[in-house]
Structure 1
Amino acid sequence: MKSKWLKTLGMGLALSAATTAAQAETLKVVTDPSFVPFEMMDQATGKMVGFDMDILAEVAKRSGFEYDLNTLDFNGIIPALQSGNVDMALAGITITEAREKIVDFSDPYYDSGLRILVRANNDGVDALPDLEGAKIGTKIGSTSYNFLKDNLEQDDNVIPYPGSSDMYMALMSGAVDAVFYDAPNVGYFSSTRGQGRTKTVGPLYEGQQYGIALKQGSPWMDEVNAALADMKADGTYKTIYEKWFGTMPNSQ
């Protein structure tokens, strides 16, 4: 009798687990495919890879949701969340007061800032004031674009591009004199495709923090924040960080 009861109990538990797995909610998640190394397309597999993609996979596993991932131009991500067409987004999204009024943000998961990138032979730029009147490439809809418009007296030559690869190509071809954008993306480009042809200059401007963006009122906020906290506590976050950026600073 005991053996039969245990067998029945085991079957019941297995069925319950299978039912729970089958009922796991699938969230609609979007990312911007051009913010290297946070998110980028692996040409060999056709899948999105990068720092944010590893964070997303780990958060989903710990929070208990599945996700359907799609790509979207950065400028359309916040409106998509605001309209409720998507549930969540990871795309190096800076937490700002304006954005917090229309979407919800997780606790910060990455500390960043803005940086200047110029061609390697340009020795005339050491700080933002040196860019007055110059042609500057940045990304449309980004905080870097807003920062330039707010802090340059001559901002008529600030050129917003739809993707980061476009503005880097413009810099190397001479179409713009500098790029002003998120520091990790600028630094990664300068040390990879732009190595020997570009360099970062000046200080880090406008310290920023990235958050996972969710549609307002999302029931997953507590689970997402708990997952991020656990990842930092058990070293998983550090492992993911150093996979993409090298040694992790103490501030992260």
Structure 2
Amino acid sequence: MKKHSTRRLLRRAVAMVCAVSATLGVAACGSTSSSDEQKIKIGIKFDQPGLGFKKSGTYEGFDVDVARYIANQLGYTDAQIEFKEAPSKQREAMLQNGDVDMILASYSITDERKKAVDFAGPYFIAGQDLMVRKDETGINGPEDLNGKRLCSVTGSTSAKVVKEKFAKEVQLMEQPGYAECATALLSGIVDAVTTDDIILAGLAAASRGKLRVIGKPFTQEPYGVGIKKDADSKEFATKINDAIEDMIKSGEWERAIEKNTEGTDYKPDSKYNPPTPNEGE
């Protein structure tokens, strides 16, 4: 009887520990709500070398590195991060529907987008630039594009900016993605590609020295961390901004830029970078 009483006492003690653990949200007693199973869902691009790129089931790029750093600072391990593809046209809907917790996908902060979602950051200030073949000497800026063939992505405003402000006689070729533009440039079909400088730097790095970025950005594009617009967004933005600031101060931000543009002469515009992350606070 004494032995059975001891077992009963042990079972009661274990039950009490489990109850307290459940109340505190601590994983215990074989619970399926283990903290290891808690995920943070982050939207990124899957097709932008140097920024957000899916390769053999892994993810790499500057946006990915910043996303991981933020998630780690928020208390998540790398194993608890779930990356989801965030195409440009679906970003607002993904946040509003709760499909992702945040988005880092060359997502420029604009007044129009802020009507639908909130932002933290910026974590980078990109600038529209040009990419040419390594041996190209006749194109040193957008004003040199008259009579030249320029590639950009269908629906992009980048080519429109060039045509309206710099070179009205430029011949425009539109492609579904910047990888296709890079291929057209390598094969000589076009003379230059235009979009944000860090996107071009990633493509140049992937070309293994065959392409280069001019390095004279002529716009500013603040890349932000998109988050859902709700009662908690201000507090969430502050935590994200703190993580970005820590990444910059630690030197990890600069190392991430260098790693993801290796093999190119790309340098972020020092007039704007690294930025001050204060959006959404």
- The structure that has the greater radius of gyration is 2
Residue in structure 1 matching 2:241, options 225, 228, 237: 225
* Equivalent position of 1:58 in the other structure: 69
Q: Which amino acid aligns with 1:34?
A: D
* Equivalent position of 2:253 in the other structure: 237
* Equivalent position of 2:218 in the other structure: 205
* Equivalent position of 2:131 in the other structure: 117
Contact 1:31 1:71 in 2 (8 A): yes
Q: Secondary structure at the match of 2:220?
A: strand
Q: How does 1:91-170 map to 2 (within 5 A)?
A: 91-142=105-156, 144-148=158-162, 150-152=164-166, 154=168, 157-170=171-184
- With normalisation by structure 1, the TM-score equals 0.77
The Cα offsets for residues 38-70 of structure 1, whole Å up to 9 and x where unpaired, read as 111233xx1112222122122112224554322
Deviates more, 1:97-106 or 1:176-185: 97-106
Question: Cα RMSD over matched residues?
Answer: 3.5
Structure 1 residues 140 and 64, CA, compared in 2 at 3 Å: closer, same or farther? Answer: farther
C-alpha separation in 2, matches of 1:155 and 1:63: 50
C-alpha separation in 1, matches of 2:193 and 2:166: 14
Structure 1 residues 38 and 79, CA, compared in 2 at 3 Å: closer, same or farther? Answer: same
* Equivalent position of 1:35 in the other structure: 48
Deviates more, 1:219-228 or 1:81-90: 81-90
* Equivalent position of 1:3 in the other structure: none
* Equivalent position of 1:18 in the other structure: 27
C-alpha separation in 2, matches of 1:23 and 1:158: 50
1:133 offset after TM fit, Å? Answer: 4.3
Contact 1:38 1:51 in 2 (8 A): yes
C-alpha separation in 1, matches of 2:241 and 2:104: 14
Q: Alignment identity in percent?
A: 25
Structure 1 residues 21 and 221, CA, compared in 2 at 3 Å: closer, same or farther? Answer: farther
Q: Secondary structure at the match of 1:222?
A: helix
Deviates more, 1:91-100 or 1:163-172: 91-100
Contact 2:146 2:170 in 1 (8 A): no
In the alignment of these two chains, the number of paired residues is 243
Structure 1 residues 152 and 75, CA, compared in 2 at 3 Å: closer, same or farther? Answer: farther
Contact 1:94 1:143 in 2 (8 A): no
Q: Secondary structure at the match of 1:97?
A: coil
1:179 offset after TM fit, Å? Answer: 0.2
- With normalisation by structure 2, the TM-score equals 0.70
Structure 1 residues 222 and 243, CA, compared in 2 at 3 Å: closer, same or farther? Answer: same
Q: Secondary structure at the match of 2:90?
A: helix
Structure 1 residues 148 and 81, CA, compared in 2 at 3 Å: closer, same or farther? Answer: farther
Structure 1 residues 233 and 120, CA, compared in 2 at 3 Å: closer, same or farther? Answer: closer
The Cα offsets for residues 132-184 of structure 1, whole Å up to 9 and x where unpaired, read as 34331123454534533542563784333332211100111222221012212
Structure 1 residues 194 and 87, CA, compared in 2 at 3 Å: closer, same or farther? Answer: same
1:236 offset after TM fit, Å? Answer: 3.8
Q: Name structure 1 gaps, 5 residues minimum.
A: 1-6
